[in-house]
């Protein structure tokens, strides 16, 4: 007989969405969060690069005719595209997608979902505008009336557009985390650092993507951005873990569930995913590789580091979304 | 005897293509029937409400079936019926799960052999009842009425009894006597001179102190009793529960006494000892209204709390406390006699001991004590046909088998034995799932089913028993038929209740009243039954000053409350030999049995084995609900678990929720694995398992292979030599871990 | 409105036997789809053999005064009704599941037809002056539908002098389900 008083609980509940634990979001939502975070990151990086170049003359050479360098042009264009793809996943996740319009019949500032859907409304026109402005040379060749008109109107204001977009990008990045962290019923998610973590992770993933796509001569700058973002991300992860462990029984339990429990995702315990694949392979190893790169040690496969960062970034969303659901509701 | 050979090879038919093809035809539409039925935001006004009574257990509560668009979409408690008072137990609500069970028997089936393979063939009612009429008649002609017997459980059987009466057959057994409450019935007869009824005669409503041995109210969901006990708890009544397991009612009790199973009689003697030695008993009542006190005291003189504590493993102080509290609260206090009383083959004496405890504190016919509820007196019209005389009124060889119950003239295990010996050649089984209903164990029951020359099963589901029948007759469910009037319940407000159809029979199923009539018609005996069942009911009701039309409105006629309590100084005039309460039973003594209850030890478990106890889940009634998807749709109803004490589990390296096979003392291994529930809620020397799972009939597609069968693990039975009840708690199991 | 209603429940766990009649009654009353439930029963046993205590509870949506499901709903599908209950407007519900994640009581599920669903406190019955289906069926009388604005204070009468608690009050949800603890002494 055990000395401690045992508690036995039997319940008749069967709702598969919440029994044996929350089960509402599958792959669509982490992918959406990842793509959304990366779209935000791309917007932040490209906007800042535009501003830096325009205002302070820092950064790679422009492509001429007022168009920034290739990586920025690609990055700007990818930002709304990735978000749109992400939103398709979000849409796919809705149990009643035909009622998606209902998001726009009301403003619910207290609902992160509602706030998010309105931020998206602000995001698209400006992000698309920026994508158009940076690629105006190519666009003009298509010779479409309104495109000309839009470009004519806003051509002179690329810096302002970029400045605003830098903020929107940060907003989107943070929003992908806040979406989860507002749920105080879910101990792993309800951490104020989550917004920050997803923002930095989004930026580092965006930098990694741009590093992959940038022409050789533009790569060093993205390698540097990425290395810095990874640094900050590591610190943020540390804070997230510590904050969890030192928090209430709810949050420390949830954090242990993520970093040390024996619950599994795809057959592998969360702890392995978290420490080995996310922190190790997704942050530390690429950081080391970028560091070596910066120190002039050229490695054979330069794409390895950014791919690891991207994979790590995606993994983080999957881990947080899944582990947050598989830990029990707050007590 | 040669004819055996032909029939002993009768196989259990599991799946035959013909049967499957037939039943698949309509099952898909029926399957959808109960999900998505009705709309929320239901408009009460558009419902048709049909008042009837439940058949999910013998309690027979009043129900109100709500019908919309030709479908029963919900069943609620009838506010008119005294046993439900607007409330229901879960099974009562679950009737729609039976009505719309996609696995229901849909048309008559006849066993055939082709190319050495046996299968069921869909048959018309005319052909199927024709065959039953012919076979029964043939056997009757050749061997006499004693070669035909019927096993039955369920209210609809009355028409078949009447049918059989026409050919002088009255060898009937209801397993609910010898496997269930027979000991309580006969103990009451021997002690008080009248049989116990349903609801049992306890004035729960006014009681201040209730003692339960086993009797797990809250898991056994006798609606009215549960309602009254709850009211008692609210009022501040105290409860003491003797149970090796921490049952739900133990969870409500002031005292839970985890008694060593099988030692209850010793405990009762200990309680008597305290009552008498501490002079707590009602001396005046005992003097005036009982006989045998001296003999009783002699028998319990040595059963001191200390001695009883050794036997029962309950501390002597606790025994004294319960006895004193019982006496202190008496007469508004009682020891309940329970329902499934047949535990160890000595149940008649155990329940007698309970009645003696009650008598000692003088609670007989006192508020809050033992009472004798009345029945509604229903005048019945004379039947048109007088039946031929019966050979005997009782066929049982047990001296205290009831002789006043025409529907129960022999023990079910005696029928099984007579079927095996060849004395019984034809068997009709109405609503008894024999292979899963423990009459001498599964193997013996199956042997009997294989050996009889002819077996007909009347059932609603393709239960195990139907797989052995030559003819299967699909009765419609209780929600689709009229039955006889129910004047069989005893209550403080006597009543008669109507069963009426809420919807017409589905598929080709038919009500028992029509099936029985078809058979008597085939015998050429017309006019045995009234032209229509409605006409018969109306005629009977008119003799009571009512009518069918009248009773249909509420489903019941209720009489005012009767006076339940005795008047001081008035003799009891009981129908016992002494006219008094028999503490020592003169009838038992005369027949050579102990006149007062005596504790004899039960066998102990072999090393590494544990006594297998059983009980109920509140939402299920074994075969009646096993395949009920509606009731199966909560997490705790999906299977049974074997409860194992934490200590015992550690010894056998068992983990919670792990699946194991069970093996009993005779080497029988459960064919399906069962989930382990590691718990503090049971003694280390016993395990517990709810009966009614582990079904082997593949066509009960929901029930099939869910959990393990309690029944399969019964290899030893103990038959009460006085009244023939069958105890089965001297079976022990151990665990076989999955490789 | 002068006498606005404010419905909730007082649940007497002293008498509840955990039979789940309330669950089935709800299923048929509200056509709850197979595999789901709006209410459920919890049996909690504490202690070690043979010193054990037990509480049985019939649980459901708490109709919170400060309901996170309403706060988090992006479309106002989840909303407070006039009578103090929390309801879902199916024709606004996108099935985004934010409310499921938000509810600290795990009271909700996604209906196979694509909307969030939960206990409505039998809105359609209360409107007609009937008790909820679960309250009506309960054989032990454990469930009480109460109007906390009722001047007769039925709720107060039930709870006075007894150990009563609410679940997860620290979540700040202001639940409208009050539980009479099974640890009350007999007759308390
Ligand atoms: N929900 C539901 N209700 C039912 C039924 C159902 O299937 N489902 N079935 C109905 C029928 S037919 C019957 S007969 C009744 C049966 O219901 P009861 O008459 O209440 O059955 P018991 O066998 O007395 O009670 C079972 C309890 O006895 C305990 N027990 C076992 N052995 C011993 C022992 O040696 N000593 C003591 N003191 N306790 C012991 C078990 O641990 C268990 O808790 O229930 C009826 N009610
Ligand atoms: N191992 C073991 N055996 C036991 C018990 C135990 O605890 N353990 N308990 C014993 C007790 S207490 C009892 S009372 C008996 C009960 O034993 P049974 O009376 O055999 O009980 P059920 O299993 O409910 O079987 C009822 C059969 O009736 C059928 N049926 C349901 N409704 C109708 C209907 O309207 N018409 C017809 N014709 N058939 C219908 C069902 O499909 C099922 O096949 O079992 C006893 N046997
Ligand atoms: S106690 Fe339950 S199953 Fe039995 S008759 Fe009443 S409602 Fe039906
Ligand atoms: S119906 Fe009543 S007694 Fe049964 S579980 Fe529900 S609340 Fe408890
Ligand atoms: S219990 Fe959950 S679903 Fe119900 S009102 Fe509160 S938060 Fe909303
Ligand atoms: S699932 Fe429906 S009710 Fe819930 S938050 Fe989304 S829109 Fe609102
Ligand atoms: S109040 Fe109505 S909807 Fe809520 S649990 Fe009870 S029966 Fe179901
Ligand atoms: Mo029984």
What's the token pair of residue B354?
């309970």
Flag whether pLDDT at A189 surpasses 50.
yes
Flag whether pLDDT at A139 surpasses 50.
yes
CB-defined site of ligand 5, < 6 Å: C 61-64, 67-69, 86, 103, 105, 107-108, 118, 173
Q: How far is the CA of B63 from the centre of ligand 3 (A)?
A: 9
The domain that contains C151 carries what CATH number?
A: 3.30.70.20
Specify the residue with its C-alpha closest to ligand 4, atom 8.
Answer: C16
What confidence score (pLDDT) does residue A4 get?
A: 59
Cβ–Cβ gap C37/A5 under 8 Å:
no
For B420-450, what is each residue's pLDDT tens digit? 999 999 999 999 999 999 778 899 999 999 9
The secondary element (H helix, E strand) that includes residue B663 is strand B659-664
What confidence score (pLDDT) does residue B3 get?
A: 38
For residue B38, give the nearest of C17, C31, C34 by CB distance: C31
SS3 B719: strand
Compare all CA atoms of chain A with the CA of B636 and give the residue at the minimum distance.
A12
Q: What is the number of structural domains in chain C? A: 1
For A28-51, what is each residue's pLDDT tens digit? 999 999 999 999 999 999 999 999
Residue B293 makes CB contacts below 8 A (sequence gap 6+) with B286, B287, B583
Quickly list H helices, B601-715. 622-625, 646-651
Residue C123 makes CB contacts below 8 A (sequence gap 6+) with B41, C81, C83, C85, C87
With a CB-CB cutoff of 8 Å, which residues 2-21 of chain A face chain B?
2, 6, 8, 10-14, 19
Return the biggest CA–CA distance within chain C.
Answer: 55
A52-66, A102-116, B467-481: least confident range: A52-66
For B638-652, what is each residue's pLDDT tens digit? 999 999 999 999 999
Q: How far is the CA of B154 from the centre of ligand 2 (A)?
A: 8
DSSP letter assigned to residue B686: E
Best mutation site among C93, C97, C112 for ligand 6 pocket (most ligand atoms within 8 Å of CB): C93
Place of tokens 């229509």: B532
Higher-confidence residue of A209 and C150: namely A209
Contact present, B34 and B93 (Cβ < 8 Å): no
Strands lying side by side in the sheet with C164-165 = C143-147, C7-12, C177-180, C164-165
Number of CB atoms found within 10 A of residue B109's CB? 28
What confidence score (pLDDT) does residue C75 get?
A: 96
Rounded CA separation C124/B413 (Å): 53
CATH number of B183-373+571-590: 3.40.228.10
Rounded CA separation B434/B457 (Å): 10
Specify the residue with its C-alpha closest to ligand 1, atom 18.
Answer: B215
What confidence score (pLDDT) does residue A64 get?
A: 78
Confidence of residue B8 (pLDDT cuts 50, 70, 90): very low
Rounded CA separation B651/B609 (Å): 12
What confidence score (pLDDT) does residue A261 get?
A: 83
Number of CB atoms found within 10 A of residue B25's CB? 12
Ligand located closest to B703 CA: 2
Contact present, C32 and B79 (Cβ < 8 Å): no
For A51-102, what is each residue's pLDDT tens digit? 999 888 888 888 877 788 999 999 999 999 999 999 999 999 999 999 999 9
SS3 B538: helix
Percentage of chain A exceeding pLDDT 90: 75
Flag whether pLDDT at B29 surpasses 60.
no
Flag whether pLDDT at B697 surpasses 50.
yes
Kindly report the backbone phi and psi dihedral angles of residue B682, in degrees, each rounded to the nearest multiple of 5, phi listed first.
-145, 155
Number of CB atoms found within 10 A of residue B110's CB? 18
Cβ–Cβ gap C29/B42 under 8 Å:
yes
Rounded CA separation A175/A181 (Å): 9
Flag whether pLDDT at B18 surpasses 60.
no
CATH superfamily to which A25-324 belongs:
Formate dehydrogenase/DMSO reductase domain (1.20.1630.10)
Q: Which of these, C19, C17, C22, lies nearest to B241 by C-alpha position? A: C17
Kindly report the backbone phi and psi dihedral angles of residue B589, in degrees, each rounded to the nearest multiple of 5, phi listed first.
-60, -45
What confidence score (pLDDT) does residue B41 get?
A: 41
Q: Which of these, B448, B457, B437, lies nearest to B179 by C-alpha position? A: B437
Q: Which of these, A143, A147, A116, lies nearest to A133 by C-alpha position? A: A147
**Chains that contact A by 3+ CB pairs under 8 Å?**
B, C
CA B198 to chain A, closest CA, distance in angstroms equals: 30
Place of tokens 């105890």: B727
Instruction: Work out the angle at residue C65's Cα, subtended by the Cα atoms of residues C60 and C70, and round it to the nearest 5 degrees.
Output: 80
- Residue A211's Cβ-count burial label (10 Å; 0-12, 13-18, 19+) is buried
Q: How far is the CA of C15 from the centre of ligand 2 (A)?
A: 29
Please state the length of chain C: 188
Spell out the domain ranges in chain B: 183-373+571-590, 610-737
What's the token pair of residue B137?
């008649």
Which of B35, B250, B678, B680 is best to mutate for the A interface (most A CBs within 10 A)?
A: B680
Contact present, B429 and B417 (Cβ < 8 Å): no
A321-325, B286-290, B563-567, C157-161: least confident range: C157-161
Q: Which residues of C touch A119 (CB under 8 A)?
A: none
What confidence score (pLDDT) does residue A67 get?
A: 85
Compare all CA atoms of chain B with the CA of A10 and give the residue at the minimum distance.
B636
- Mean pLDDT for C93-117 is 97
B277-281, B440-444, C1-5, C96-100: least confident range: C1-5
DSSP letter assigned to residue B461: S
Place of tokens 């439940």: B54
Instruction: Check if B497 has its Cβ closer than 6 Å to any atom of ligand 3.
Output: no
Rounded CA separation B524/B528 (Å): 10
CB-defined site of ligand 1, < 6 Å: B 57, 180, 213-216, 220-222, 242-245, 247, 259, 261-262, 264, 338-340, 343, 613, 615-616, 618, 620-622, 688, 729
For residue C53, being part of any structural domain is answered with: yes
Q: How far is the CA of C60 from the centre of ligand 5 (A)?
A: 9
Query: What ipTM was estimated for this complex?
Result: 0.94
What confidence score (pLDDT) does residue B384 get?
A: 63
A29-43, A170-184, B24-38, B403-417: least confident range: B24-38
For B360-411, what is each residue's pLDDT tens digit? 999 999 999 999 999 999 998 887 668 899 999 999 999 999 999 999 999 9
Instruction: Check if C96 has its Cβ closer than 6 Å to any atom of ligand 6.
Output: yes
What confidence score (pLDDT) does residue A291 get?
A: 87
Computed over every residue of chain A, the mean pLDDT equals 92
Rounded CA separation B730/B715 (Å): 9
Rounded CA separation C18/B260 (Å): 26
Rounded CA separation B580/B566 (Å): 13
For B236-255, what is each residue's pLDDT tens digit? 999 999 999 999 999 999 99
CATH of B610-737, one of 3.40.50.720, 3.90.1170.50, 2.40.50.100, 2.40.40.20: 2.40.40.20
Q: Which residues pair with B645 in a beta bridge?
A: B679
Computed over every residue of chain B, the mean pLDDT equals 93
Q: Which of these, B425, B536, B456, B412, lies nearest to B108 by C-alpha position? A: B456
For residue C186, being part of any structural domain is answered with: no
Rounded CA separation A265/A276 (Å): 14
Flag whether pLDDT at C46 surpasses 60.
yes
DSSP string spanning A172-237? HHHHHHHHHHT-TTSTTT--THHHHHHHHHHHHHHHHHHHHHS-GGGHHHHHHHHHHHHHHHHHHH
Kindly report the backbone phi and psi dihedral angles of residue B181, in degrees, each rounded to the nearest multiple of 5, phi listed first.
-105, 10
What confidence score (pLDDT) does residue A145 get?
A: 86
> Given CA atoms A86, A87, A90, A92 in this order, what sign does their dihedral have?
negative
Higher-confidence residue of A11 and A120: namely A11
Confidence of residue C84 (pLDDT cuts 50, 70, 90): very high
For residue C20, give the nearest of B44, B92, B619 by CB distance: B619
- Mean pLDDT for B333-362 is 97
Rounded CA separation A201/A238 (Å): 13
What confidence score (pLDDT) does residue A299 get?
A: 79
What confidence score (pLDDT) does residue C152 get?
A: 74
With a CB-CB cutoff of 8 Å, which residues 113-142 of chain C face chain B?
120, 123-125, 128, 130, 133, 136-142
SS3 B36: coil
What confidence score (pLDDT) does residue B10 get?
A: 60
| A13 touches C at CB < 8 Å | yes
What's the token pair of residue B496?
């008669």
Ligand located closest to B615 CA: 1
CA of residue C88 relative to chain centroid, distance? 15
Atom of ligand 1 nearest to the CA of B692: 7
């Amino acid at each position: 007989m055990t000395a401690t008083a045992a508690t036995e609980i039997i319940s008749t509940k069967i709702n598969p969405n919440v029994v044996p634990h929350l089960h509402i979001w599958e792959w669509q939502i982490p992918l959406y969060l990842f793509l959304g975070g990366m779209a935000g990151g791309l917007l932040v990086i490209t906007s800042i690069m535009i501003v830096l170049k325009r205002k302070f003359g820092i950064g790679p050479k422009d492509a001429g005719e007022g168009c920034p360098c290739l990586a920025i042009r690609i990055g700007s264009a990818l930002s709304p595209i990735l978000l749109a793809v992400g939103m398709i996943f979000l849409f796919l996740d809705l149990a009643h997608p035909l009622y998606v319009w209902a998001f726009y019949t009301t403003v619910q500032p207290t609902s992160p979902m509602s706030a998010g859907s309105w931020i998206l409304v602000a995001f698209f026109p400006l992000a698309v505008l920026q994508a158009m402005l940076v690629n105006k040379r190519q666009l003009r060749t298509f010779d479409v009336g309104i495109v000309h008109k839009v470009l004519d109107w806003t051509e002179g204001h690329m810096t302002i557009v970029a400045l605003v977009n830098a903020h929107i990008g940060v907003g989107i990045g943070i929003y992908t985390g806040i979406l989860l962290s507002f749920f105080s019923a879910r101990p792993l998610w309800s951490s104020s650092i989550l917004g920050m973590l997803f923002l930095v992770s989004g930026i580092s993933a965006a930098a990694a993507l741009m590093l992959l796509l940038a022409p050789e001569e533009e790569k060093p700058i993205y390698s540097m951005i990425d290395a810095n973002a990874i640094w900050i991300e590591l610190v943020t992860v540390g804070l997230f873990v510590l904050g969890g462990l030192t928090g209430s029984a709810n949050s420390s339990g949830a954090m242990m569930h993520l970093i040390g429990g024996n619950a599994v995702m795809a057959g592998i315990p969360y702890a392995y995913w978290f420490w080995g694949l996310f922190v190790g392979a997704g942050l530390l190893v690429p950081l080391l590789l970028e560091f070596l790169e910066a120190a002039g040690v050229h490695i054979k496969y330069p794409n390895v580091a950014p791919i690891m960062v991207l994979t790590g970034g995606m993994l983080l969303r999957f881990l947080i979304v899944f582990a947050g659901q598989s830990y029990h509701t707050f007590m | 005897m040669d004819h055996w050979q032909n029939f002993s090879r009768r196989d259990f038919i599991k799946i035959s293509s013909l049967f499957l093809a037939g039943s698949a035809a309509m099952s898909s539409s029926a399957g959808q029937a109960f999900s998505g039925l009705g709309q929320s935001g239901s408009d009460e006004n558009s419902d048709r409400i049909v008042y009837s009574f439940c058949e999910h257990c013998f309690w027979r509560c009043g129900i109100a079936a709500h019908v919309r668009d030709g479908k029963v979409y919900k069943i609620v408690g009838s506010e008119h019926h005294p046993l439900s008072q607007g409330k229901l137990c879960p099974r009562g609500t679950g009737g729609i799960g039976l009505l719309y069970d996609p696995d229901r028997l849909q048309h008559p089936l006849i066993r055939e052999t082709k190319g050495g393979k046996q299968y069921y063939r869909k048959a018309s009612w005319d052909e199927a009842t024709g065959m039953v009429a012919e076979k029964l008649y043939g056997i009757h002609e050749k061997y006499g009425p004693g070669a035909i017997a019927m096993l039955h459980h369920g209210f609809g059987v009355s028409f078949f009894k009447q049918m059989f009466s026409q050919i002088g057959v009255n060898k009937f057994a209801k397993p609910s006597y010898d496997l269930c409450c027979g000991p309580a019935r006969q103990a009451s007869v021997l002690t008080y001179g009248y049989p116990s009824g349903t609801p049992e005669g306890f004035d729960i409503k006014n009681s201040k102190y209730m003692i339960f041995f086993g009797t797990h109210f809250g898991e056994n969901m006798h609606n009215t009793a549960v309602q009254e006990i709850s009211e008692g708890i609210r009022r501040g009544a105290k409860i003491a529960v003797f149970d090796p397991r921490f049952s739900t009612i133990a969870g409500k009790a002031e005292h839970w006494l985890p008694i060593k199973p099988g030692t209850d009689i010793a405990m009762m003697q200990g309680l008597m000892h305290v009552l008498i030695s501490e002079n707590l008993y009602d001396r005046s009542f005992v003097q005036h209204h009982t006989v045998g006190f001296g003999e009783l005291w002699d028998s319990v003189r040595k059963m001191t709390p200390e001695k009883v504590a050794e036997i029962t493993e309950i501390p002597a102080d606790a025994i004294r406390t319960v006895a004193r509290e019982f006496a202190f609260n008496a007469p508004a206090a009682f020891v309940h006699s329970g329902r499934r009383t047949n535990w160890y083959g000595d149940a008649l004496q155990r329940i007698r001991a309970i009645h003696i405890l009650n008598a000692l504190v003088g609670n007989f016919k006192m508020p809050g004590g033992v009472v004798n509820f009345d029945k509604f007196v229903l005048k019945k019209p004379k039947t048109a046909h007088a039946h031929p005389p019966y050979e005997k009124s009782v066929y049982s060889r047990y001296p205290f088998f009831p002789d006043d119950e025409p529907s129960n003239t022999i023990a079910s295990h005696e029928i099984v034995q007579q079927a095996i010996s060849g004395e019984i050649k034809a068997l009709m089984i109405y609503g008894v799932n024999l292979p899963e209903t423990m009459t001498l164990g599964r193997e013996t029951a199956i042997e009997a089913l294989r050996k009889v020359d002819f077996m007909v099963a009347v059932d609603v589901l393709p239960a195990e028993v139907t797989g052995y029948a030559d003819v299967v007759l699909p009765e419609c469910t209780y929600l689709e038929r009229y039955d006889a009037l129910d004047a069989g319940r005893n209550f403080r407000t006597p009543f008669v209740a109507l069963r009426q159809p809420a919807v017409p029979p589905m598929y080709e199923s038919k009500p028992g009243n029509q099936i029985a009539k078809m058979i008597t018609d085939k015998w050429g005996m017309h006019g045995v039954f009234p032209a229509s069942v409605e006409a018969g009911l109306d005629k009977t009701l008119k003799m009571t000053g009512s009518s069918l039309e009248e009773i249909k409105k509420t489903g019941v006629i209720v009489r005012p409350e009767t006076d339940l309590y005795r008047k001081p100084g008035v003799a009891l005039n009981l129908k016992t030999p002494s006219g008094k309460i028999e503490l020592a039973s003169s009838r038992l003594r005369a027949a050579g049995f102990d006149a007062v209850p005596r504790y004899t030890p039960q066998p102990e478990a072999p090393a590494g084995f544990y006594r297998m106890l059983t009980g109920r889940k509140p939402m299920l009634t074994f075969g009646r609900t096993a395949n009920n998807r509606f009731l199966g749709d909560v997490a705790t109803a999906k299977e049974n678990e074997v409860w194992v004490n934490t200590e015992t589990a550690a010894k056998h390296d068992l983990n919670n929720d792990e699946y194991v096979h069970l093996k009993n003392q005779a080497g029988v291994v459960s064919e399906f694995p069962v989930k382990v529930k590691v718990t503090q809620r049971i003694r280390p020397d016993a395990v517990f398992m709810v009966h009614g799972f582990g079904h082997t009939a593949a066509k009960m597609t929901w029930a099939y292979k869910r959990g393990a069968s309690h029944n399969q693990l019964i290899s030893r039975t103990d038959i009460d030599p006085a009244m023939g009840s069958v105890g089965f708690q001297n079976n022990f199991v151990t665990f076989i871990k999955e490789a | 409105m002068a006498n606005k209603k404010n419905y909730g429940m007082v649940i007497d766990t002293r008498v509840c036997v955990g039979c789940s009649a309330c669950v089935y009654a709800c299923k048929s009353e509200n056509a709850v789809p197979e595999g789901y439930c709006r209410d459920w029963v919890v049996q909690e046993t504490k202690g070690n053999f043979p010193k054990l205590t037990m509480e049985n509870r019939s649980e459901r949506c708490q109709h919170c005064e400060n309901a996170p499901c309403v706060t988090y709903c992006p479309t106002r599908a989840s909303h407070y009704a006039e009578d103090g209950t929390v309801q879902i407007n199916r024709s606004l519900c996108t099935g985004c599941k934010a409310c499921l994640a938000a509810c600290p009581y795990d009271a909700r599920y996604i209906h196979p037809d694509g909307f969030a669903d939960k206990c409505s406190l039998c809105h359609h019955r209360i409107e007609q002056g009937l008790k909820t289906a679960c309250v009506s069926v309960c054989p032990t009388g454990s469930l009480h539908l109460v109007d906390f604005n009722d001047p007769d204070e039925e709720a107060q009468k039930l709870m006075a002098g007894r150990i009563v608690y609410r679940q997860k009050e620290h979540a700040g949800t202001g639940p409208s389900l009050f539980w009479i603890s099974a640890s009350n002494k007999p007759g308390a």
